[in-house]
Amino acid sequence: MFQGLFGNATEVDAKGLQRDLDNLLADGEQVVRAFKIMRDLFVFTEKRLILIDKQGVTGRKAEYHSIPYKSISHFSVETAGAFDMDAEMKIYISSNSTPIEREFKKGTDIVGVQKVLAQYVLR
């Protein structure tokens, strides 16, 4: 619980999330891995990355970014430093010059999230 409060990425049960996202997933699409950071989710399927941005006080409102791996032209990770406490990930989509940016609190396993992203983008 404390890891979620302080921004550390925690892995989410893929099977449970599969049921929760059933209406969002294509026929036969499987959730492979997922990470929760605070209330937001990074969901890796065999076809795409789904970023779920929970909004509002209750978190009932959510924005879903669906990014096919083939559309990711590159991505970058900036780790937290001594004075800059947050880490940052930028994901560049081939059709857009402005990246999707996500900040992570210090202590988040951003390298682990980046490793899974690299695994699917570099196939």
Quickly tell me which residue has 């605070």 as its tokens: 38
Residue 51 sits in a domain whose CATH number is 2.30.29.50
The torsion angle over the Cα atoms of residues 24, 68, 18 and 60, rounded to 10 degrees, is -50
Q: Is pLDDT above 60 for 2?
A: no
| Domain total of the chain | 1
Q: What is the DSSP letter of 120?
A: H
- By residue count, the chain amounts to 123
Containing structural domain, residue 70: 2-121
Q: Is pLDDT above 50 for 5?
A: no
Question: pLDDT per residue over 59-75, tens digit each?
Answer: 678 899 999 999 999 99
SS3 state of residue 77: strand
Question: pLDDT per residue over 79-118, tens digit each?
Answer: 776 665 677 889 999 988 899 888 777 677 777 888 889 9
Report yes or no: 98 and 104 within 8 Å, Cβ to Cβ.
Answer: no
Quickly tell me which residue has 């970058």 as its tokens: 76
